[in-house]
Structure 1
Amino acid sequence: MLKPKELGDELPGFDAVVEDTEQNDSQTNKKKKKGSGGFQSMGLSFPVLKGVTKRGYKQPTPIQRKTIPLALSGKDVVAMARTGSGKTASFVLPILEKLLSPNSKPQPGKNLRALILSPTRELALQTLRFVRELGKFTGLSSAAILGGESIEQQFSVMSGKAPDIVVATPGRFLHICIEMSLKLDNIKVVVFDEADRLFELGFGEQLQEIVARLPSSRQTLLFSATLPKMLVEFARAGLSDPMLIRLDVDWKLPSTLWLGWISVRAELKTAALLLLLDKVLTPETPQAVVFAATRHHVEYLHLILQQAGITSTYAYSGLDPSARKIALGRFTNKKVSVLIVTDVAARGLDLPALDTVINYNFPAKPKLFVHRVGRSARAGRAGRAFSLIAAEDIAHLLDLQLFLGAELLTPASVETNGPTCPSGVWGAMPTVQLELRHQDVVTWEKNYSEIEEAVRTCSRGWQQYVKWREPASAEANKRAKTTDAPTMTHPFLVDDNMDKAVDMVQQIKNYTPKGTILELSAKNDSPSYLAMKAKKQAHGKTVAKIRDNKKLKAAGILVEDMGQKSNKNAGKKKKEVVRDENYIPHQASDQHTEMGMAVNFNAGAESAALELGADSAAAARSRAATLRWDRKRKKMVHVDPDGGRKMIRTESGGRVPATYRSGRYNEWKKRNAAVDDDDDDDQARDVNRKKPVSEFRPHWVKHNERVAKKAAEAKSKEFRDKQQIVKERLRKDKVKQKLKYKVNKKKKRK
């Protein structure tokens, strides 16, 4: 066999092996020191690299390392990775690089060259901030087109010289396109951010209309945390020969995320939450996000935390967009300790300083759990996720364990207590402290009418929520009936002083008296006493043996042998099934993973939000009213409220005609005397025209800017006329006289 040196350059793509010399060693050492795994090796231009370094990024994440080179080469990409893995930068950097290239220069009246579609307003604003930070030195303009904002301000943004990059929600962007007759011929890149969520939230119609208006030569990028394996469903988004990048198969949750399962009765959940927050909110981890099932639970918990002296804010779907924005702003700026939300904030929001997530109500689907706890432990940071498990949540917990491929640990199998205990332990709350906290909660519910009414509303809302919640699998429900909830305290909540009390409680639970209740108060000659004495003589040994076996099983010494339960089958040995190497099972090895991660795009577009559900009874009723039973297809389908007419639903709930315009843009042009953008002859006027505001700001911000501008202009004047000089001297004289008067007054008093 030949040695490597004698092989020569026979392998394609590999350099020939050269004999080691001191010169070669020095060169290789220099190359190693430089390092080629960073953003510099991706061929990014200087303005983009400058923005990356200014943002503080040093090394690309795995999804960025795989996605950015493919996107820069112009291929359509479908990328799947867990939340917090850096998906946003994976499409923002290729967009900036592509728009800076000389091949994609803006044409007159067609400056819009990149479109990013996001499912929610919060995610769109976050993406816009990200685009501006990374593209700070590129000179590219960007704007957000969001539902719930003033449409006239958006007319001013999109008219004239439109921004290079638009981050939009599908409903409002399509409304703008119809009203303004926007031409999207010059768009080079389209991004579907959180693609599965776009279809789940019922944006199928809007996406189809937007895709139909886009040029066929565009590049399409789909980014999401979970998507099915098959690419057939992506045809609706208009992909051509896409490259699939999937980094969510090996792990679903970050390795730095610590999980804790806490067993508690349903009526004690509020007290358990207060105990948990007292333990979790420390100077090192000052903030936490609490997920509740409905908007009524959110408002109830907010009132309870107010009474407990814990600062909190909340957000849910029915809340005004500006109020949601203010609430999230208060939390990100660390003005409050707790953010209480429904699943409207389960995905897409980047809270980099967040350390703790608490599931007050357990999520119905494993995929939703992944995105809830994905708010923490982002970008390599450590994080914790606690879940309160009631009796009705055990089946969903077992489904989740199958999906994660994890094992539930018992407190008895754990040696360390406190924050250093291992992840994945299922334990209970400290009973004494829980009862004391529950007394406080009951007192608040009785003394405060607001909280009392919130409790009644919560109970009605929970009844409705259980009806539309996704049920657990049949197998999990069977296992849940035989699975006992733990009684030992979770090691994270155990203090050193509590060990003795816990041991005593455990001894009391394991204590078995010698006499039964029939023997305690009866006389020696009573019939009950004599009957029990006869029974003990007949079956005493069997009872003692079973009790000893139970104690050994509880201690983990004896393992129950299911095959030796019946004497009939004890002698028979089952034949082992021998399968050849070509045997193919009818179920895939990762079937539970795929069931949890699959998002059927057709079903998602037809039935709005299958997994997120509604967070109020009114939203659930309105959704049910739009469905009817189709006898042919044997399923519930949507009722067409427009009688076959083509209509598009906006985010505000209104329906916009797809074939004609309502004329609001023409009225706005008349009022503002806007000049049409299509006139190529008036380019000089376009240059001198004031650029539209690319973000939506309140009136007081604009007023402060005008005042500051006037003050700056006044200071910048080097030469003044005679009147201004005289006024300034008189003003200074008045100030001096006032000061003299005050000084003299003080002297007279003395």
Structure 2
Amino acid sequence: MAAQVAGFDDLNETTDDTHIIKKKNGIRKKCGGFQGMGLSFPVLKGIQKRGYKLPTPIQRKTIPLIMEGRDVVAMARTGSGKTACFLIPLFEKLKARVPKSGARALILSPTRELALQTLKFVKELGRFTGLHAVNVLGGDSMDNQFSAIHGNPDIIVATPGRFMHICVEMELKLHSMEFVVFDEADRLFEMGFGEQLHDIVSRLPERRQTLLFSATLPKVLVDFAKAGLSDPVLIRLDVESKLPEQLKLAFVCCRSEDKSAALLCLLKHVIRPESLIVIFAATKHHVEYLHMLLDKVGITNTYIYSNLDPSARKINAAKFRTGKVSVLLVTDVAARGIDIPELDIVINYNFPAKSKLFVHRVGRCARAGRSGIAYSLVANDEFAYLLDLHLFLGRPFNALQTEAASKDDDFPDGVIGRIPEVLLDEEHSELKVWHETENDLANMKKVCANAYRQYIRSRPGASVESVKRVKGINPNSFAIHPVFLVQDASQSSSSDILEKMKNYRPNGTVFEIGQSSRSRAYTVMKSTRAKHRSLIVNHKRKLEDKEKENLISRSSERKSMMASNDDDIADTFHNIIAPKKRKHDSQTVRKEKKRKVLVDEMHYIPYTAPDHHTEQGFSVNNFELEASKAKLDLTADSEETLRQQQKLKHWDRKKKKMVAVNMDKKVKKIRDESGAWIPATYKSKRYAQWKERMKVEEDFAADSEDDGDDDHGDQKRNQLRGLKTYPNTHWGRHNKKVENKVKSELKRPDQILKARIEQEKKKRKQRRKCKRSKRKK
């Protein structure tokens, strides 16, 4: 019987409650489901209602460790159930709602779409626990977020920029936080939230549990984990460089100006109309252009990009999830973390420059055991990135050379081919008519061309080796991709004729065609060709031999065999030698340093003294240091010099461009996540204005740090943490007024004055009624 690996139970065992919970001979039956993790009934009921039966490998490993209270850094590929890894232990730790204790869990997400998805998941999975969760997102109303936090939620799902703004504005202490999660942590640092994350961590209490979920593990993330986590456990099951087994890849090569026609060929002739499709484009201008194009074709679609209004992004995402539209056009803002369960197909309109980004894009489909297809349109300037991707994935570069090879399989995975010219010509003619008749579409195409030039400037370059290898690849020699093979004889014959015309190369040159045989150019080229005939024949023969060698090498490739498992290897080989880990002791480091240093210490004269830094630290009046700090500020004294001073610019290292010099540093402002300009310190008067408008009496941020650990101190902290909230509904305000009338026995002077004025009004009204009744009589 094979030995079981810790954390990985038998997947074939049933998860029915009657078979799992029953006992045989006093021994409880082992199970590989969530029932064997010791979860409480409300959490387990939410899991079952959500439809989960068996935990994924990453869930089996992380959930028991998180339940023990350990800090965890988990790495797994997309679609492996990372969100449930931290939500299930979070519900088990928080147990039930505690209205007066304040927020006890914080989940930070890189984008608002991922945060909204996480909040939806929290409500579905934890609906039987009674825990209250809120969102704090950039672009939403800050007043609503103030009132939401004043309601003392148990869980806060936020984006770092807006949450940091709220913390500074409300002066939150976050002393009640017990559980902190950084979802897609590498993406958080890639988007430039590093400063906000460090500031948020500094506000959190030391006694907290921190979880960090990421696809990759860059150095910045390792340093952050070292500083913010206490003795973390690294779980690295299957990293993001692997693709799901149910995902099939198809690479279609075409010219960059043919991409729109190639996309229409895919949507019309290959993909089924009822499929849900996500199309990734390079810029927002490409998204808008494709939106106009698909509307013209009659394909229902919507779009999402970063500059779109938050409410519009939410509405468009809901349209696609509910199936009202079949195509979603997005930029890389939706490349990570977004979960669309019914997604069938992903199309890369612009091939990504980074291989990891490709994995994130295509990982939106084929999630949780479903199958999916990823089509990629590859232009001539993107072939180097395609080679980098194959090296990154460890796959062979499988480019079809003949149609016979492509007809062997209906859909071979990872094949590189092209589109038939007949289909491209049909779409080209239709697109040409549209661009000539509609000015909006033609203008949008020009905008896309300009945007793509700017995109190429910011796009990182491919590896040098891939750029060299691309020069030896001829995309015109690729065969038609199997997905475009048609069975109609007339279309196949016309495509064959076009292929022959395309591959036809006349012997004559441009100097000879259309010229008379007596012209000087004709005679010179004819004599030169006769002179070098042997070289031309040898060159053609070499090209034919190379093509034959490539075909032979591809045909002689070994077929993929079934991989062996660890048990088979252990039964066959008793002694297994693995590469030893590199030692990092002080002796080896000293040896390496001695080998690297090739300086003759006897005769070498350094530029600075050995104790240069020590002397500089002890010096009182260092001329070099004082001179570097010295500056001369001249204030303009005329209108012309003032105008010139406003035009002063300096080189910004971060932005890599010349920026205007801000003479008044006190008025420095930055953009928040919603695009609004706010002070650089995040401090404005919006919270104070909101408190005054909502009649909030106590400060939510006040927290008693001087109180002791006795019961009286805890009671005082809870009173200070909780806040009198003002209801937003009509009946809520009415009930609040009734409650205040019952509680308050003594009235304030303004209340007494108001009551007297109302009484006088009633008396006057009554007198008028009496006079009217007397006149009528």
Deviations 1:238-265 (A, max 9, x none): 0111111112349521111110110101
Go from structure 1 to structure 2 and tell me whether the alpha carbon gap of 1:665 and 1:440 turns closer, same or farther (over 3 Å shift).
same
The aligned amino acid for 2:46 is G
Distance 1:274 1:118 in 2: 35
Choose from 244, 266, 275 the match for 1:254: 244
Q: Which residue is equivalent to 1:133? A: 124
Distance 2:209 2:84 in 1: 17
Q: Which residue is equivalent to 1:589? A: none
Determine if the alignment matches structure 1 residue 371 to structure 2 residue 360.
yes
The aligned amino acid for 1:487 is F
The aligned amino acid for 1:204 is G
Deviations 1:619-655 (A, max 9, x none): xxxxxx997249xxx9999999795999886313456
Determine if the alignment matches structure 1 residue 385 to structure 2 residue 374.
yes
Go from structure 1 to structure 2 and tell me whether the alpha carbon gap of 1:174 and 1:675 turns closer, same or farther (over 3 Å shift).
same
Shift of 1:226: 2.1
The aligned amino acid for 1:85 is S
Shift of 1:125: 0.7
Go from structure 1 to structure 2 and tell me whether the alpha carbon gap of 1:535 and 1:335 turns closer, same or farther (over 3 Å shift).
same
Go from structure 1 to structure 2 and tell me whether the alpha carbon gap of 1:67 and 1:533 turns closer, same or farther (over 3 Å shift).
closer
Determine if the alignment matches structure 1 residue 477 to structure 2 residue 467.
yes
The aligned amino acid for 1:349 is I
Distance 1:640 1:210 in 2: 30
Deviations 1:196-244 (A, max 9, x none): 1111111112111111110001011011222237964224760111111
Distance 2:271 2:671 in 1: 43
The aligned amino acid for 1:379 is A
Q: Which residue is equivalent to 2:652? A: 628
Q: Which residue is equivalent to 1:124? A: 115
Q: Which residue is equivalent to 1:56? A: 51
Distance 2:205 2:447 in 1: 51
Q: Which residue is equivalent to 1:340? A: 329
Distance 2:312 2:682 in 1: 33
Shift of 1:514: 8.9
Distance 1:45 1:171 in 2: 35
Distance 1:544 1:657 in 2: 69
Q: Which residue is equivalent to 2:149? A: 158
Go from structure 1 to structure 2 and tell me whether the alpha carbon gap of 1:412 and 1:71 turns closer, same or farther (over 3 Å shift).
same
Choose from 260, 269, 274 the match for 1:279: 269
Choose from 173, 193, 203 the match for 1:203: 193
Distance 2:260 2:545 in 1: 38
Residue 182 of structure 2 aligns to a residue in which SS?
Answer: strand
Deviations 1:69-88 (A, max 9, x none): 11111111111111111110
Residue 143 of structure 2 aligns to a residue in which SS?
Answer: helix
Q: Which residue is equivalent to 2:692? A: 670
Deviations 1:406-441 (A, max 9, x none): 112233477564993211111001101101101111
Distance 1:637 1:91 in 2: 45
Contact 1:418 1:495 in 2 (8 A): no
Q: Which residue is equivalent to 2:94? A: 99
Shift of 1:552: 3.4
The aligned amino acid for 1:549 is D
Q: Which residue is equivalent to 1:351? A: 340
The aligned amino acid for 2:674 is S
Contact 1:171 1:649 in 2 (8 A): no
Spell out the pairing of 1:3-82 with structure 2 (5 A cutoff): 36-82=31-77
Deviations 1:452-503 (A, max 9, x none): 1101111111111111111111121111112221432111111122554555
Report which stretch shifted further, 425-434 or 27-36: 27-36
Shift of 1:349: 1.1
Report which stretch shifted further, 496-505 or 148-157: 496-505
Q: Which residue is equivalent to 1:112? A: 103
Distance 2:650 2:58 in 1: 39
Choose from 184, 190, 213 the match for 1:194: 184
* Structure with more relative contact order (C-alpha pairs < 8 Å, separation 6 or more): 1
Distance 1:185 1:686 in 2: 10
Determine if the alignment matches structure 1 residue 142 to structure 2 residue 137.
no
Spell out the pairing of 1:110-509 with structure 2 (5 A cutoff): 110-159=101-150, 161-228=151-218, 232-235=222-225, 238-249=228-239, 252-282=242-272, 285-412=274-401, 415=405, 417=407, 420-485=410-475, 486-497=477-488, 498-502=491-495
Distance 1:683 1:584 in 2: 52
Shift of 1:450: 0.7
Go from structure 1 to structure 2 and tell me whether the alpha carbon gap of 1:668 and 1:402 turns closer, same or farther (over 3 Å shift).
same
Distance 1:645 1:208 in 2: 25
Distance 2:64 2:43 in 1: 14
Residue 427 of structure 1 aligns to a residue in which SS?
Answer: strand
Report which stretch shifted further, 178-187 or 253-262: 178-187
Report which stretch shifted further, 513-522 or 116-125: 513-522
Shift of 1:691: 8.8
Go from structure 1 to structure 2 and tell me whether the alpha carbon gap of 1:30 and 1:332 turns closer, same or farther (over 3 Å shift).
farther
Distance 2:221 2:138 in 1: 30
The aligned amino acid for 1:425 is V
Q: Which residue is equivalent to 1:549? A: 545
Contact 2:694 2:726 in 1 (8 A): no
Shift of 1:556: 2.8
Q: Percent identity?
A: 50
Go from structure 1 to structure 2 and tell me whether the alpha carbon gap of 1:47 and 1:418 turns closer, same or farther (over 3 Å shift).
farther
Distance 1:293 1:704 in 2: 50
Contact 2:179 2:208 in 1 (8 A): yes
The aligned amino acid for 1:145 is V
The aligned amino acid for 1:119 is P
Residue 370 of structure 1 aligns to a residue in which SS?
Answer: helix
Go from structure 1 to structure 2 and tell me whether the alpha carbon gap of 1:438 and 1:509 turns closer, same or farther (over 3 Å shift).
closer
Spell out the pairing of 1:687-726 with structure 2 (5 A cutoff): none
Contact 1:82 1:226 in 2 (8 A): no
Go from structure 1 to structure 2 and tell me whether the alpha carbon gap of 1:536 and 1:223 turns closer, same or farther (over 3 Å shift).
closer
Go from structure 1 to structure 2 and tell me whether the alpha carbon gap of 1:516 and 1:668 turns closer, same or farther (over 3 Å shift).
closer
Residue 420 of structure 1 aligns to a residue in which SS?
Answer: coil
Residue 107 of structure 2 aligns to a residue in which SS?
Answer: strand
The aligned amino acid for 1:116 is I
Residue 396 of structure 2 aligns to a residue in which SS?
Answer: coil
Go from structure 1 to structure 2 and tell me whether the alpha carbon gap of 1:507 and 1:28 turns closer, same or farther (over 3 Å shift).
farther
Distance 1:344 1:303 in 2: 20
Q: Which residue is equivalent to 1:748? A: none
Go from structure 1 to structure 2 and tell me whether the alpha carbon gap of 1:260 and 1:467 turns closer, same or farther (over 3 Å shift).
same
Provide the aligned length of Structure 1 versus Structure 2.
Answer: 605
Distance 2:318 2:513 in 1: 68
Residue 264 of structure 2 aligns to a residue in which SS?
Answer: helix
TM-score of the superposed pair, with normalisation by structure 2: 0.69
Deviations 1:537-591 (A, max 9, x none): 967985785476356346537999xxxxxxxxxxxxxxxxxxxx99999xxxxxx
The aligned amino acid for 1:279 is H
Shift of 1:100: 1.1
Runs of 5+ unmatched residues, structure 1: 5-26, 561-580, 586-624, 694-701, 707-750
Distance 2:200 2:29 in 1: 45
Go from structure 1 to structure 2 and tell me whether the alpha carbon gap of 1:293 and 1:407 turns closer, same or farther (over 3 Å shift).
same
Contact 1:417 1:492 in 2 (8 A): no
Contact 1:39 1:58 in 2 (8 A): yes
Shift of 1:397: 0.8
